[in-house]
Chain A
Amino acid sequence: MSDFLMPSLGADMEAGVLMEWLVKPGDRVERGQIVAVVETQKGAIEIEIFEDGQIQSLEIVPGTEVPVGTVLARLSASDAPVLRSEAVAESAPTLPEAPASAVSDTVSIRAAELEVPAAALAQHSASAERLRISPLARQRARELGLSEAVLAQLTGTGPQGALCLRDIEKAAQTPPGVSPLAPHASPSARQKALELGVDLQKVQGSGPHGLTTAEDVERVVSQHALEKPVQNPMRAAIAAAMSRSKREIPHYYLAHSFDFEPALSWLEALNETLPMEERLVYAVLLVKAVALALKKFPEMNGFWQEGAFVPLEQIDIGLAISLRTGGLVAPALKQTDQKNLKTLMAEFRDLVNRSRGGQLRASEMRGGTITVTNLGEQGVESVFPVIYPPQVAMVGFGTVLERPWVIEGQILPRRVIQVSLAGDHRVSDGHRGAMFLARIEKLLHKPEKLL
């Protein structure tokens, strides 16, 4: 038996809202399987499970916010029905039908048992999240014979959303057939509400049966915009991380411009030979060069934790990806140094698409061991990055510009790029930082070795 916990989906995440279970008690799960959807300040994220087994019980009901580390589900090891039947089959291969039916009995009994935890769940969850109801309202509900299950679904209008007398009276007056339940909202409305920081309870639904739609949420926001600014949760997360960075990390900055012509020419020639969908963008080249350069500069790759630097063996380059709706995320390309450009290109494209579609996975949200930002698309020459804690360095690339460049005494037009570094001075110094940037340049001069 093991526990499946609310994961930390970022250094600054303290709690998450369990939105949806994609499994139920009794389901077998495999390592890497998506089992739940969790809402964080950064958006709705699909959560993977990290071991094989069978779901024994779900401990948290959807819609509940719980701190990181809370037990979400209990998992039994993979020795339950299926394995047991295999064991029986192997140990008694010569016995004909009798054991087989015994096996199926075992399975069906197990399945029947599994109904129990499922039923117990409802009860358990009621006590796990105690109903917020005033003493008077509870007494009145008892008089009216409203069950705990009904109460649990009413919307409170008292302080902190508690159920108070008027809510009970209103529920009691609701004509039969009309649900007195909390206003329903479509999944897209929930997503929108989270992005825009809107309290769904306060949105009047215009869809069928009073369903709250994404349009309703947007309407509320546009009304609100005139009154007071709404703090977007993602903006708040960025604000927290960046404030922490600037408060805690003594940044030093270095920038270095170099001739990018050899790498670009090589890449263009290579792309000529590739089918359209496999062509590489130069950003992938940059990311790979940074990953390889890090091997000689371990002080740039790791985390500052509890007052000390923890270097990391694995090199996961975080990509700063801006979202169309505003804000940004920094998911990682895992083991960037180990992968060839073709693989990196595919993963890069996939990450950008899913980031912008709001479909990142938990393990990806955690970010990299260092982050790279490429503001080249915006036409700026230099980037002065802000380190993403607990990382200790960030590398930036500016736009590629055609510049007069002196090569062996001759002035030639060359495409030039600037690489910059924000380093954590608690961990590294400018001297090493400069050597690190020089190393990146050197690697990009021999792009064929990056393949």
Chain B
Amino acid sequence: MSAMIQTTYREAIKTAIREALQQDSRVFLMGEDVAHYGGCYAVSKGLLEEFGPERIRDTPLSESGFVGAGIGAALGGMRPIVEVMTVNFSLLALDQILNNAATIRHMSGGQFSVPIVIRMATGAGRQLAAQHSHSLENLYAHIPGLKAIFPATLEDARGMLWTALQDPDPVIIFEYAGFYNNTGEIAEDAGPVDIDRAKVRREGHDLSIFTYGGSLFKCLEAAEQLAQEGISAEVVDLRSLRPLDQTTILASVRKTHRALVVDEGWYSVGIAAEVIARISEKAFYDLDAPPARVCSVEVPIPYPKHLEDAALPQVGRILTAAREVLGQNV
């Protein structure tokens, strides 16, 4: 057993970037304020000094421009890590991502691939108001040609980047902005992890709670409280939003016969809707209750704390939904 070290979500990502830069000379990081300022969330602080301006590159405030440049670099044989500050601004680069990164393999008849990794912070809960609190993971998970992954744990924050860089196709990595200070222990030699499988974070047999990213720890807390009520809830971290790990999802439903999906995205047409659709299609005869979902309320995310809290999935809402799925009318 290797030694455990104390780290943070931020530090784990930085370690992963550093390792990639050290191990592969084709890797470079670019984005707004990633070099001299050290990154908007201080993820790349110190990397400029360590690797120099060629490999840690500040860009102008032009998402479409620098994401396009990253796609060009990937086409040219590089392994770019492009940081889009947050998902809120990524829409400006969406044309590059959707019409170029995701389609060039197909359009070129397989002659070109785009091995780019695009990182972006996402999520609400920090009183940044409607324009800076989006959870648009579902937009990217919708697009064939992309992979969309979401590390929630320290191990995944540490290990998903390298695997993503090995992928010949574009990978979007979402980082939950509220997690950067999350602290915990990981193995000193923690390394690459898979990016295409869901993981059971807590085993249970009465109810499956599927979630990812910012809602994972809320679900684990809810599961703990449910356990005190005698309800054994399984918590499954989706990790990869595209492709969805249907095998793990269905296996869990076939065990518990009840499904609840918790997703910080808005209620309609979201990841939760997709997961429930898959369950309904593939595990219909294993269901013992209608699947349920806890999502964000369909409003622009409010600025005042109490309203923002009310708009997002919270432990209380998860508990209520779980009890309803179990037929305990509370």
Is A165's beta carbon under 8 Å from chain B?
yes
Whether the Cβ atoms of B287 and A134 lie closer than 8 Å is yes
A164: chain B residues at CB < 8 Å are: 288-289, 327
Whether the Cβ atoms of A136 and B324 lie closer than 8 Å is no
Give the distance to chain A from B176, nearest Cβ to Cβ, in Å. Answer: 31
Q: Which of A134, A157, A162, A165 has the most CB of B within 10 A?
A: A134
A134: chain B residues at CB < 8 Å are: 257, 287-290
Whether the Cβ atoms of B287 and A135 lie closer than 8 Å is yes
Is A32's beta carbon under 8 Å from chain B?
no
Q: 0/1 per residue, B316-330, Cβ < 8 Å to A?
A: 000000001101010
Q: Look across to chain B and name the residue whose beta carbon is closest to the beta carbon of A133.
A: B288
Q: Look across to chain B and name the residue whose beta carbon is closest to the beta carbon of A156.
A: B327
A-B interface contact total, Cβ < 8 Å: 36
B288: chain A residues at CB < 8 Å are: 134-137, 158, 164-165
Question: How many residues on the A side are at the interface (Cβ–Cβ under 8 A)?
Answer: 12
A164 to B329, CA, bound (A): 14
- A165's partner among B257, B290, B325, B329 (CB-CB below 8 A) is B257
Whether the Cβ atoms of A157 and B284 lie closer than 8 Å is no
Is A159's beta carbon under 8 Å from chain B?
yes
A137: chain B residues at CB < 8 Å are: 288
Interface residues in A256-311 (C-beta closer than 8 Å to B) = none
Whether the Cβ atoms of B257 and A136 lie closer than 8 Å is yes
A135 to B324, CA, bound (A): 17
Interface residues in B249-306 (C-beta closer than 8 Å to A) = 257, 284-290
Give the distance to chain B from A159, nearest Cβ to Cβ, in Å. Answer: 5
A294 to B325, CA, bound (A): 58
Q: Look across to chain B and name the residue whose beta carbon is closest to the beta carbon of A137.
A: B288
Give the distance to chain B from A132, nearest Cβ to Cβ, in Å. Answer: 10
B284: chain A residues at CB < 8 Å are: 135
A136 to B284, CA, bound (A): 8
Q: 0/1 per residue, B192-205, Cβ < 8 Å to A?
A: 00000000000000
Q: Give B residues with C-beta under 8 Å from A.
A: 257, 284-290, 324-325, 327, 329
7 A-B pairs whose Cβ atoms sit less than 8 Å apart in the complex:
A134-B290, A135-B286, A156-B327, A157-B327, A158-B327, A159-B325, A165-B257
Closest 7 CB pairs of A and B: A158-B327, A136-B288, A134-B288, A164-B288, A135-B285, A165-B288, A157-B327
Knowing that A156-B327, A158-B327 touch, tell me 15 more A-B residue pairs with CB under 8 angstroms. A134-B289, A135-B285, A135-B288, A136-B257, A136-B287, A136-B288, A137-B288, A157-B327, A158-B288, A159-B290, A159-B324, A159-B329, A162-B290, A162-B327, A164-B327
